[in-house]
Amino acid sequence: MQQTREKIIDKSSLLRLWTVEEYHYMAEVGILGIDESVELVAGQIIKKMSPQKTPHATALTLTRLLLEERLGKQVLVRTQLPTTLSNYSEPEPDVAVVMPDVLRYLEHHPCVSEIYLIIEIADTTSKTDREIKTREYGKVGIKDYWVLDINKRCLHIFQDPTSHGYQNEIILEEDGQISPLQFPDLSITVRDLLPPVIVE
């Protein structure tokens, strides 16, 4: 009986990956609408969830204000704005802590070498943030990536990037404390990033 060799097909090879240039062109000619909430991650155009719920908006604001207050002019804190990670990825993370100042990015979006920390705030986007984005952020070399899970009230910290994602994941409960890799003197309590629990 003749044996047949099973051919293993990489599903990602069946996808048509879009470049950043093509992504911008689609927006320019109207293929992507002005009000369409999308981002380019690993060559795929991903629709972001909308409208934004109030706990997500509150966590985003708390996080931005805390980082701006504690780090001051050492950083620029950008919220939901593009970052160019590679020729195939231009996500818009909830929070990106990058090199200052605003005019530095007059002609380009922050790139990997200019990014200190990326934080995604997960409510309905937990799967995307902890799977697709984790692989992509790790692959391009983002050294410090956090996912703030506002439903489970915990923080996932991803560090030590590799070509397949991250080697290390730490999960902190709301009373846990963490310091950004770039700013070890700054201690952040997870609870301070989360919206307060409303007791009825």
> pLDDT digit string (tens) for 116-160?
999 999 887 677 778 788 988 999 999 999 999 999 999 999 999
Mean pLDDT of 161-177: 94
Tracing tokens 């929070």 back to the chain, one arrives at 95
The CATH architecture of the domain made up of 50-193 is Alpha-Beta Complex (3.90)
Beta bridge partners of 118: 96, 145
Spell out the domain ranges in the chain. 50-193
Q: For strand 177-178 and strand 44-47, is the pairing parallel, antiparallel, or unpaired? A: unpaired
Does residue 188 contact residue 178 with C-beta atoms inside 8 Å? yes
Query: Token pair for residue 167?
Result: 């080697």
CA distance 45 to 24: 11
| Of residues 132, 130, 37, the one with CA closest to residue 88 | 132
Whole-number pLDDT of residue 42: 64
User: What pLDDT does 152 receive?
Assistant: 94
Reported as a single tens digit per residue, the pLDDT across 23-33 is 666 666 766 66
Which residue's entry shows tokens 């099973």? 6
